[in-house]
Amino acid sequence: MFWAGDGHDHWHVTGAQVSKLQKLGGQDVGTIKKVGFCFLDSYRYGSSRPARYTSATSVCQTKPNGKVPMGVSVRWGDIYPSTFAYQWVDITGLPNGDYKLKVIADPPDTTGGQFIESNETNNRGWAKIRLSGRTVTVLARSARP
């Protein structure tokens, strides 16, 4: 983990996600590793239980015992809106055309899969996008590779 020096004022976990932008033929044209995440229950995804990890419980802050609580409860999600800092892939200079954006959570090739999960099979997703001038259009998407 590292202390977020970007105004967030809390701890972030590193190595949680890898994103790659590729030409449709598979050639990488942009790779970004999200700098870090502070995991919390921000989106109810079918849970009947209240959120456990919230800003009200000082998630991602150091407790007096030295521990830093954070996580995502079962049937909850953690949504990072596009307005949060560093939620983008730089496409400056790329020609117009169709591309695929691939996202891998808890990537085994960079960290050995550092998170304990109840389901390791749902860690990949992609979106086929079209770049045209200053416009990006999502053409298709999937939660599977």
Residue 108 covered by a domain: yes
Instruction: Tell me what percent of the residues of the chain surpass a pLDDT of 70.
Output: 90
Residue 94 covered by a domain: yes
Can you tell me the distance from the alpha carbon of 91 to that of 137, in angstroms, rounded to the nearest whole number? 13
Residue 56 covered by a domain: no
pLDDT tens track for 123-137: 889 999 999 998 999
Any idea what DSSP says for residue 13? B
Residue 95 covered by a domain: yes
Q: In terms of residue numbers, what domain contains 31? A: 16-35+84-145
pLDDT tens track for 71-81: 889 899 888 77
pLDDT tens track for 19-59: 889 999 889 898 775 667 888 999 998 999 999 999 888 89
Residue 10 covered by a domain: no
Query: What is this structure's pTM?
Result: 0.74
Can you tell me the distance from the alpha carbon of 123 to that of 106, in angstroms, rounded to the nearest whole number? 7
Residue 59 covered by a domain: no
Structurally, how many domains does the chain consist of?
1
Residue 70 covered by a domain: no
Residue 66 covered by a domain: no
